[in-house]
Structure 1
Amino acid sequence: MSDVNKFGKHHSSDAAESGELSRDLSNRHIQFIALGGAIGSGLFMGAGKTISVSGTSIIFTYMIIGIVLFFVMRAMGELLLSNLKYKNFADFCSDYIGPWAGFFIGWSYWLTWVVAAVADSVVIGGYIQYWYPDLPTWGPALIVLAALMFLNLLTVRIFGELEFWFSLVKVVAVVSLIVVGGVLIAISYVSPNGVTASLSHLVDPAATLPYGMSGFFAGFQIAIFSFAGIEMIGATAAEAKDPHKTLPRAINAVPIRVMVFYVLSLICIISVSSWFAISADQSPFVQLFLVTGLPMAAGMINLVVTTSAISSANSGIFCTSRTLFGLSSAKQAPNMFSTVTRRKVPGASLIFSCLCVSLGTGLLIFIPKVMTVYTIVSTIASVLLIFIWSLILVAYLIYRKRNPELHKASKFKMPWGVPLSIFSLIFFACMIVLLTLEPDTLLALYLIPIWVVWLGLVYFLKYRHVEVKSYKAERVS
């Protein structure tokens, strides 16, 4: 039997009986699972707030973050392919930084996607209110979560197919918006409220930095959360059919695609609607079609963005269940979470994670304002992601110092790896500082030390003496 890794095990014919996951995700599944997680509420809902506070400068915000995260993904890719036994970023963090790092990154990644799924569930309730304004937001959110739990209890291949089509819908939606926006800009369309579609809105002095540099910096919070999901490629490695082909393709393609989708769609939204007509509390995609006097199209887009939020929540639930399964398999979580169903799905991990997401979604009962809850939970997820991405870079720097021969032999080198890793770490430190500038993001930031202290106590009292897995030999040249 193959060794256990943090997110799963190698495939075998008796996988269901031995507690192994099925290796049934193809390249298109992995790419669209990552796209499904990354193109979601951060763009379809969160972009409204980022545009409202940062103005047109938000385009540069997304470009900067996209470039930095591409560096992180390349570092992760080189590490994953440097050793055939690495199946995810928790594995190489344990190997290079220490067992505590694997424990912290594993549990933090689990919480990240629990919180991200809560954020997506929250906006699902908000989207449903477009049609049913008097319906409480928590009702449809919980119904959708129950449906997603059922779908995830199916085989991983069915999940991959469902997520592929879910993600395809949102990609088509973004492309359609870009095409429609491009046409409206080309014909200088005048909306019913008198706004003429024009690229000149992008350089309007009053809209470039409407709140100065403080507004520009404030836009980074939700913008960072918008890119949550691209590292999901590293979490799917254990269930990839051919990781040495699929991972490089996905890593090279997904961050660039996400950045292009975000930048082009934001250019179209601002050019057609103008910065002054964009509300912070609504989806800018829906607003664009409302401003243009096409309410029927707006309703269709709202249906699409609702589907997109469901897709993102679906990706999050997938990651939480696999993360918890891997932690249990590595003896860093209760044993009950390392079991799989007859369909080779980590059922106990999945159900427990969905229950946690449901509890988080219950915040809507006490704080009915969707954007308030969304900002709080997305900030928590952003800080956790910065922590995870930083540990990946630290592990990469140690790898470069400890095993220079592996880097030299690698066929998937991170370009200018050491200086770019250091630059990215400095960038992430600056992002943490920026989160202290806004009251709502600062509130969420206060909660993170509680999580870190709790993890430290649990690790010290229960898991610090747990024998960790060896990753010797079995290298990739």
Structure 2
Amino acid sequence: MSNEKQGFARTLSHRHVAMIALGGTIGTGLFLGAGSSISKAGPAILLVYIITGLFVFAMMRALGELLISDDSKPVFIDFMTQYLGKKAGFVLGWTYWIGWIVIAMTELTAIGTYMHYWFPDMPTWPWELAFLVALYLVNIIAVKAFGEAEFWFSMIKIIAICAMIGTGLILALGHVKTSMGTTEFSTLWSHGLVANHGNTLLAAFQMAFFSFLGVEFVGVTAAETKDPLQTIPRAINSIVFRILVFYIGALSAIMIIQPWTNYKAGESPFVQVFSGIGIQSAAAIINFVVLTAAASAINSAFFTTGRMLYSLAGPKSRFGRLDRNHIPRAAINLSTLIVGLSVVVNYFFPTDAFNLISSTASAAFLIIYMALMVTHLVYKKQVKEGNVSGTKMFKLPFSPWSDYLTIIFLGLIFILMLITKATMFTTILSIIWIVFLAIVAQIKIKD
């Protein structure tokens, strides 16, 4: 089906897509969760992120090759339906949809918590409702409005990271004394290179991987991107460089300014560092950054779930239609109503209940990523057999070996989650969810 028949408007520019791709790799995991990662790995966390980043890049190159082969598909799950079958597409499509719904619900709950920092005497639900309505309006006005919102959400995160890197360089080059001691580059390695004798290093891989959840989101924007044959490859190819700059740079700066042994799990290292050098409003600044990160996640969730539901529903359903602004408004409306239930549910269930479900969704994303690599393998086989036309301009390097290695890496992360006490239950829940959908697909769908 051509993009013209679908009626999508190509209004997302390279500037939008580049920032969407970058924003998908930078979440609250870096700003709030880096302390836990550092405490588990020490300076070895840099190597963990480099290795994980390379496999994420391989996955994105595979996704990019699929997108370039047919840029009219509204969501990348459509490639899974084409190459793995309708049943697999059904299971993976609804898993991806519900995964983003749950992420949006948990992030909406988090927004209430972040606003509580400034307004402790005010209930959280009005803030949650206000953000819900504002981001819904952004998504139904025009695709370009969504792109602009994501651009500035990502820019705020980048400014915070650049501030951390710049602070580390200035303090280290000037050998500046702070409340944490004299800042030296050698602080990075002078307290050892691996935490806990390497006993918790594997857990750091799991945490690093989940920092990148959502990186595939750029694959949902292809059908609404200007010049996708140029824009998508440029955005994907920039991911590795940006991972090195923003993750490796920020984490290095954090461990140069203050010995890595001083960081504690559950405390933001950004707040610790900025507070330690005398910035009294550090906690408020980082609270604002994570607030925008949560808003960005909800914004992305509305965009993704709308397109996903549009694709799953089909043209005969009201949810499979576009409005005059070339937006699947009905699909976005339903997704927004479901996400909005979190405002009501928060009255009856603790936040921990949402965190539990969110972790289950995160584990399910691993299955989707592995399925993406399998889809790429099937696609390459189809190209080799002459059943579909391939692309010469943007290929996954070293395929099929890079496909196999990425699947093995993702599989090991999944196994690690399955045998780790903290994530075992949620991982089993994700398996049950997949099995349930597979049974439904077997009953309802005929390939």
TM-score, normalised with respect to structure 2: 0.89
Worse-matched range after superposition: 120-129 or 161-170: 120-129
**Paired position in structure 2 for 1:62:** 49
**Paired position in structure 2 for 1:434:** 416
**1:55 partner SS:** helix
Instruction: Tell me if 1:24 matches 2:14.
Output: no
**Paired position in structure 2 for 1:10:** 3
Instruction: Tell me if 1:389 matches 2:369.
Output: yes
Instruction: Tell me if 1:339 matches 2:326.
Output: no
Aligned residue-pair number: 445
Structure 2 counterparts to residues 261-300 of structure 1, below 5 A: 261-300=246-285
Residue of structure 2 aligned with 1:198, choices 162, 168, 184: 184
**2:24 partner SS:** helix
The 1:74–1:296 alpha-carbon spacing in structure 2 relative to 1, beyond 3 Å, is same
Worse-matched range after superposition: 413-422 or 284-293: 284-293
Q: Deviations over 1:247-278 (max 9, x none)?
A: 11111113431343111111111222332333
**Paired position in structure 2 for 1:469:** none
State, as a whole percentage, how many aligned pairs show the same letter.
Answer: 38
Give, as a single letter, the amino acid of the residue that structure 2 aligns with 1:73. M
Distance 2:88 2:65 in 1: 19
Structure 2 counterparts to residues 4-153 of structure 1, below 5 A: 10-11=3-4, 20-83=7-70, 86-132=73-119, 140-153=127-140
Q: Name structure 2 gaps, 5 residues minimum.
A: none
Is contact 2:165-2:253 (8 Å) kept? yes
1:400 is displaced (CA, Å) by: 2.3
Is contact 2:33-2:268 (8 Å) kept? yes
The 1:208–1:130 alpha-carbon spacing in structure 2 relative to 1, beyond 3 Å, is farther
Give, as a single letter, the amino acid of the residue that structure 1 aligns with 2:253. C
Instruction: Tell me if 1:231 matches 2:231.
Output: no
The 1:343–1:173 alpha-carbon spacing in structure 2 relative to 1, beyond 3 Å, is same
Distance 1:249 1:189 in 2: 39
Q: Deviations over 1:97-120 (max 9, x none)?
A: 212222222222212322332343
**Paired position in structure 1 for 2:311:** 326
**2:265 partner SS:** coil
Q: Deviations over 1:314-333 (max 9, x none)?
A: 122211211111111267xx
Structure 2 counterparts to residues 231-250 of structure 1, below 5 A: 231-250=216-235
Residue of structure 2 aligned with 1:182, choices 169, 172, 179: 169
Distance 2:45 2:359 in 1: 17
Instruction: Tell me if 1:159 matches 2:146.
Output: yes
Residue of structure 2 aligned with 1:258, choices 240, 243, 248: 243
Is contact 2:32-2:269 (8 Å) kept? yes
The 1:409–1:443 alpha-carbon spacing in structure 2 relative to 1, beyond 3 Å, is closer
Distance 1:377 1:52 in 2: 26
TM-score, normalised with respect to structure 1: 0.84
Distance 1:152 1:83 in 2: 25
Distance 2:301 2:200 in 1: 29
The 1:47–1:329 alpha-carbon spacing in structure 2 relative to 1, beyond 3 Å, is farther
Worse-matched range after superposition: 312-321 or 80-89: 80-89
Q: Name structure 1 gaps, 5 residues minimum.
A: 4-8, 13-18, 467-477
Is contact 1:123-1:309 (8 Å) kept? yes
Indicate the RMSD between aligned Cα atoms, in angstroms. Answer: 2.8
The 1:140–1:266 alpha-carbon spacing in structure 2 relative to 1, beyond 3 Å, is farther
The 1:170–1:409 alpha-carbon spacing in structure 2 relative to 1, beyond 3 Å, is closer
Give, as a single letter, the amino acid of the residue that structure 1 aligns with 2:158. V
Is contact 2:315-2:321 (8 Å) kept? no
The 1:47–1:185 alpha-carbon spacing in structure 2 relative to 1, beyond 3 Å, is same
Residue of structure 1 aligned with 2:440, choices 441, 449, 458: 458
1:176 is displaced (CA, Å) by: 1.8
Residue of structure 2 aligned with 1:411, choices 368, 388, 393: 393
1:359 is displaced (CA, Å) by: 4.0
Is contact 1:137-1:364 (8 Å) kept? no
The 1:163–1:92 alpha-carbon spacing in structure 2 relative to 1, beyond 3 Å, is same
